[in-house]
Structure 1
Amino acid sequence: MPITSVDKDLTNLTMSVVADFPVPLPRLWDAYADPRQIERFWGPPEWPATFTRHDLYPGGRSEYYMTGPGGERSHGYWEFTTVQQGHSFEVIDGFAAENGQPNEEMPSMQMVFTFEETPTGSRLTNTTYFNTLEELEQLITMGMEEGATAAMGQIDEVLEDLASFAADRALTAQILSPTQVRISRIIRGAPQQVWNAHHDPGLLTRWLLGPDGWTFTDCQVATAAGETFRYAWTDANGENGFAITGEVRESNPPHREVFTETMEDMDGPPTLNEQNLTAVEGGTLLTLLITYATEEQRDAVLATGMTDGMETSYARLETELLATA
């Protein structure tokens, strides 16, 4: 159990949890920066968390839900107010409705996470600031202290798992729901470099090619919300060409971009893609949450070998970035 102390201050309306870990500071930070990792310990064991959004930058937002033993869900959100990369972040933490919007009937609170090196590894101090004594007592009565303690007890196993989150691991795809898939890969390069590689036609046409031998025949890039893009390819024989089109819905360089995507001349609604770039040890964690219209559409797309083609392209992207570094 990594928890060193839990302190409730009824005068200053705070609760502080201090935990020590025998791992380097960057390893502990990455456990909170990576949605694949934080969801393995943020909820208590009987209420595991699923993060559908995790924007670790000032002005960013996280959305998650915890699933109970009977399949019931409790939704929450974070609004990041400050982030000091590798050292601390502050959030407004609150309960949410199913659509991710704040639940105004429940209290929200400020939470500060501070990370520091120690002679034996690293330390996390998590301080929660409550608005009133009544809210503090309400949440303590609801089991906030016990939940935090139980959740924190799961971090050691995550920190020991180096292979699952290594910078040299290939792309992973996780099915989060009947209509959502999360693609994750660490790319060796800074977030700004990875962002540029997605929006500079000169770079894009060198790596976003799928299997070897394919080439671009059209590369119309969108760089701002409201703009549309079109990419088209053909194989080495000039045959089997296809194209994808879409519209950018949200753009916050170099961290987050939301866009639709559909294959040209094919029936079916577009997907909604939410791409996040987060600085982690070893490079940039690229997280792509894809929302499909139906489970059937999700399965049909995955069956095409989409993830294999994405891994080939991302590996090529990494090579391009390292070559120009």
Structure 2
Amino acid sequence: MPITTVHKDTDTLQMTIVADFTVPVQRLWDAYADARQIEKFWGPVTWPATFTRHDMAPGGFSHYYMTGPNGERSGGYWEFLAVDPGRSFEVLDGFTGPDGNPDRGMPAMRMVYEFTETDTGSRCTTTTYFNSAGDLERMLTMGMEEGMRSAMSQIDDVVADLASFAADLPVQAQILSDTQVRFSRIIRGTPQQVWDAHQDPELLKRWLLGPDGWSMTSCEVATEVGQTYRYAWAPDDGSSPGFALTGELLEVEEPHRAVQTEAMEGMEGPPTLNEQTLIPVTGGTLITLLITYDNAELRDTILATGMTDGMEMSYARLERAVLAAA
């Protein structure tokens, strides 16, 4: 178990947990930065976590829920107050209610995570600052210390697993629920480079193509909230009229996060909600696309089109045709 010390100070209303690891600092940092990894150890063993948002940047948020043995759920959030990549991050940590919004009836805490190098690897020091003695006592009574010990008991297996999160893996699609799918891939480039490649129409026409033999015939980019976009493609041999995707930009935080709706032009039905996050990790930029569908049937229908393979072809082309020449 990596936890080496736990110190509770009722005078300063702090709890400090020190955990030591035999991996480099950057490997430990990546485990916290990558939603696929942190959800493997953030919840206690019997309450695994699912992260539906995780943008580790100042002003960003994480949304997650833990699922108990009988299917019950407990939700939480982080609001990132500060991030020093590879060294530390600070969050406001709180609970969410069934509607996903902050539960004001539960304590919220400020937590600081510091990552340092040691003679044998790395160390994570987590300091929790409570707002009152009552909040500290309540969280301890709820089993906060035991929960963190259980959660951290899983992290050694995560940081030792290099194969599952390697930079050379193709797009991974993870079904999170009946309505949500998370697509993840590490792209060899900086977040700003990857962001720019999604914003520049001339660059988009070079890589956002899907299978070989198709061209982008229209590229209208939305760069400000409230603007609409339209992308259209057609086969080079003229064998079909092609198709177009359109939607509205709802949120934008350059170069980390963009949220937009997406629908196929001419098709009836509700649009999807696409949340894209870019986070620097070892090997490049982790791009995460969380898509929310109206229902499971629509989810499965769209997945069956081969969109995951198409995304991989486009991202590989992005690395090869755009970022390699940058």
When the two structures are superposed, what TM-score results if normalisation uses the length of structure 2? 0.98
Consecutive unaligned residues of structure 1, counting only runs of 5 or more, are none
Distance 1:131 1:212 in 2: 57
Distance 1:167 1:238 in 2: 36
User: Does structure 1 residue 273 correspond to structure 2 residue 242?
Assistant: no
Distance 2:284 2:103 in 1: 36
Correspondence for 2:59: 59
Distance 2:229 2:132 in 1: 49
Q: Deviations over 1:70-112 (max 9, x none)?
A: 1010010010001001100000000111232110111100000
Correspondence for 2:211: 211
Q: Which amino acid aligns with 2:265?
A: E
Q: Which amino acid aligns with 2:319?
A: E
Distance 2:82 2:159 in 1: 24
User: Does structure 1 residue 264 correspond to structure 2 residue 265?
Assistant: yes
Q: Which amino acid aligns with 2:198?
A: H
Distance 1:283 1:16 in 2: 32
Q: Which amino acid aligns with 1:202?
A: E
User: Does structure 1 residue 33 correspond to structure 2 residue 33?
Assistant: yes
Cα shift at 1:309: 0.4
Distance 1:254 1:99 in 2: 29
**Count of equivalent residues:** 325
User: Does structure 1 residue 111 correspond to structure 2 residue 96?
Assistant: no
SS of aligned partner of 2:211: coil
Correspondence for 1:307: 308
SS of aligned partner of 2:176: strand
Q: How does 1:71-220 map to 2 (within 5 A)?
A: 71-220=71-220
Q: Contact 1:193/1:321 (CA < 8 Å) preserved in 2?
A: no
Q: Deviations over 1:126-156 (max 9, x none)?
A: 1100011111011101000000000000000
Q: Contact 1:87/1:114 (CA < 8 Å) preserved in 2?
A: yes
Distance 2:163 2:212 in 1: 28
Q: Contact 2:31/2:37 (CA < 8 Å) preserved in 1?
A: yes
Correspondence for 1:237: 237
Correspondence for 2:294: 293
Distance 1:88 1:70 in 2: 35
Correspondence for 2:50: 50
Consecutive unaligned residues of structure 2, counting only runs of 5 or more, are none
Correspondence for 1:13: 13
Q: Contact 1:171/1:184 (CA < 8 Å) preserved in 2?
A: yes
Q: Contact 1:173/1:182 (CA < 8 Å) preserved in 2?
A: yes
Q: Which amino acid aligns with 1:170?
A: P
Q: Contact 2:231/2:244 (CA < 8 Å) preserved in 1?
A: yes
Distance 2:324 2:182 in 1: 28
Q: Percent identity?
A: 66
Correspondence for 1:224: 224
Q: CA RMSD in A?
A: 0.8
Distance 1:147 1:28 in 2: 20
Q: Contact 2:209/2:314 (CA < 8 Å) preserved in 1?
A: yes
Q: Deviations over 1:258-284 (max 9, x none)?
A: 000001111211000000000111100
Distance 1:323 1:169 in 2: 17
Cα shift at 1:207: 0.2
Distance 2:119 2:167 in 1: 26
Distance 2:227 2:164 in 1: 36
SS of aligned partner of 2:26: helix
Cα shift at 1:306: 0.6
